[in-house]
Structure 1
Amino acid sequence: MAIDETILSRADLPDIVATLMAWEGEASYPLGLHVGDVGWHARLPDDELDGTMRAFSRNGVWVAFGLFEPGLVRPRIAPGLAYDAEVARAVADAVQAMPQPQVCTDADPGSAFRTWLSAAGWTLDPDPWTCLYKPLDSGDRDLGDSATKPPADADGVCDRVAVQRAAFTGSTFTVEAWQRMATGPGFDPDLEMLSRDDVGRPVAGRDRLVGRGRKVRNPRTARHPPRPLGAGHGRRVLQALLGALGRAGCSGVSVHTPARNAAAVAVYTSSGMRAIENTQTLIRPKRLSVSAARLE
């Protein structure tokens, strides 16, 4: 049965989020592409968003979805289809056709998709990522402090954006990008956190998209670099978010961070998260011709 590939747009975001949430089900912790990744992706303007979201369907039913960005692909294959050769081949062909000289993609170990790409010459990324996890219960609802809370107004949003831009070199995050993200499906203002120091300066921020009533995956903490390391700002904003997630009824939270980032791992473990596994993406070291790349 043929697999159809469809390019999606911003108007399809509600269907994308609903489908990914259904696929997550009751998994203890989500790996691979997550609804929060799609929510963060929604910050992009339409001219950058268009063409980056693709659905793969069979008989009108989605069997896979992926974010296709320059040099990076984040696919998600529907539950129960990890060993489906037809689905794997369709997604692998789309990934192989990416024009960039080097491409990186998620690929679950043991899946047919990973097998197809391995046979085509893809190799393991030498830099693994660590997945950390923490179950949440009633005791976590009181975590947080009075200086860490959701942005209350436009000035707070500007401060949240400023922290993000200061924390990550080359960040393109803007107030307009925040507004696109905030109006997208799954955004919960109660789970957007901004931490201030004792004189009111913004020092750290964190957001979480789609979280209530289920396990969630946590994005990175943004900490303002001029503020001193070791001051605990990253841990403060993480603790506040864990408390908000607990009050929202979430049963657990997980995060992926580069294994070599010892400082980030230390922040997560200090908040009760524990490392549960390492993951490695696949990379195509050099451009193969499209004819050679297709898995005939």
Structure 2
Amino acid sequence: MGGSGEAVGALRDWQYEGAPMQLHPGDLGWFWRFGAEATAAAVRTWRRDGRIFAVGLLDEPTFLRLAIAPEVKQDRELAQHLVEDIALPEGKVSVEAPMDALVQDLLLESGWNADEPWTPLRRDLSKPVQDPGLRIGVTGPEQAHVRTAVQRAAFDGSTFTDERWRAMAAGLPYADARCLVAYDQGDPVAAVTVWSAGPGKPGLIEPMGVHRDHRGRGYGRAITVAAAAAPQELGSSSAVVCTPSFNVGAVATYKAAGFQQLPEIRALSRM
């Protein structure tokens, strides 16, 4: 076990251009909306000789997301330890691990099954990003209520409140993040949060949503273009995002904003 601050540092170190999709410091940053204590309780770390080699985020009570240091993804001792040490409740549980990690093979050999596929997408940021065509505002404390209202209007059941925005913004990963809101004639129509892992590393989009009253007008593409420009300004080498493969509308929106579709990834589940 270890502190969430150390975990954020390790996750930053493990991001590199062309790496298979795995847990990003921005994923911890988005979870931080539940508060520092809840985030620390949800983070797992695995060490060897005092150094962190794997980080897990219990994103939900039955869903663990894993990241592994690149140089030990095929380390059998570590993989076996992870398989034995994944402490999840009985019943259906899921684990998301890097597709190129040995732990994937060991879980499958242990009777785990492939879950529903997700589609990662990536946009290279080595060239200038076009103008999104809408006014884009960067959210600060005074605009937090606008950002959270768009989130709730974009996702049914969202519990994103002003208090949770402040908790997220106070978290360590948000030092390299921005919340953006797109406006059309003064109306907030879409929002996104983007996370940097540092200069020369992939940045993450998590989450992006369009207000339910303003869909079908190209606002998703516009806010996604803005979401590429923001990490570029922060020094990111690319912008990445991952969405359920069944959400064909989201995949189409990201592709329309210049993102390239990558091979699907799958979590593994155990009944």
TM over 0.5: yes
Taking the TM superposition and a 5 Å limit, the aligned residue runs for 1:83-94 are: 83-94=74-85
Q: Alpha carbon RMSD of aligned pairs, Å?
A: 2.0
In the TM superposition, what is the alpha-carbon distance from 1:49 to its structure 2 partner?
3.2
- Counterparts of 1:30 and 1:181 in 2: how far apart (Å)? 26
Unaligned runs of 5+ in 1: 1-5, 287-296
Q: Which of 7, 25, 29 does residue 16 from structure 1 map onto?
A: 7
Matching of residue 275 in structure 1 with residue 261 in structure 2:
yes
Per the normalisation by structure 1, the TM-score is 0.84
Q: Secondary structure at the match of 2:147?
A: helix
Distance (Å, rounded) in 2 between the aligned partners of 1:188 and 1:144: 24
Residue identity opposite 1:250 in structure 2 = S
Helix, strand or coil at the partner of 2:212: coil
User: CA 1:121/1:179 → structure 2, altered by over 3 Å: closer, same or farther?
Assistant: same
Alignment CA distance shift 1:211-1:232 (3 Å): farther
After TM superposition, list the pairs within 5 Å mapping 1:1-296 onto structure 2.
6=1, 8=2, 12-24=3-15, 26-29=16-19, 31-46=21-36, 48-68=38-58, 69-95=60-86, 97-109=87-99, 111-125=101-115, 127-140=116-129, 142-145=130-133, 147-154=135-142, 156-188=143-175, 191-198=178-185, 200-213=186-199, 214-227=201-214, 229-284=215-270, 286=271
Asked whether the equivalents of residues 96 and 268 of structure 2 are also in contact (C-alpha less than 8 Å), the reply is yes
Q: CA deviation at 1:194?
A: 0.5
CA deviation vs aligned residue, 1:36-84 (integer Å, no higher than 9, x gap): 1011111113564353111111111111110123110001111111121
Alpha-carbon separation, structure 1, partners of 2:268 and 2:152: 29
Amino acid across the alignment from 1:217? L
Contact 2:4 2:43 in 1 (8 A): no
Amino acid at match of 2:252: A
Aligned-pair CA distance for 1:100: 4.4
| Rounded Cα–Cα distance in structure 2 between residues aligned with 1:152 and 1:18 | 24
Q: 1:13–1:184: 8 Å Cα contact kept in structure 2?
A: no
User: Does the 8 A contact of 1:191 with 1:241 survive in 2?
Assistant: no
CA contact (8 A) 1:145 1:240 kept: no
1 CA distance for matches of 2:219 and 2:211? 9
Equivalence for 1:293: none
Once residues 101 and 162 of structure 1 are traced to their aligned partners in structure 2, the CA distance between those partners, rounded to angstroms, is: 35
Q: Cα deviations across residues 101-137 of structure 1 (Å, max 9, x unaligned)? A: 2111113335321122112210011x21111111113
Distance 1:139 1:50, change over 3 A: closer
SS in 1 for 2:108: helix
Shift of 1:190: 6.8
CA distance in 2, matches of 1:144, 1:191: 16
Q: Percent identity?
A: 30
Q: Which has the higher strand share?
A: 2
TM-aligned CA distance change 1:139 to 1:179, over 3 Å:
same
Q: C-alpha displacement at 1:212, in angstroms?
A: 4.5
Count, aligned residues: 269
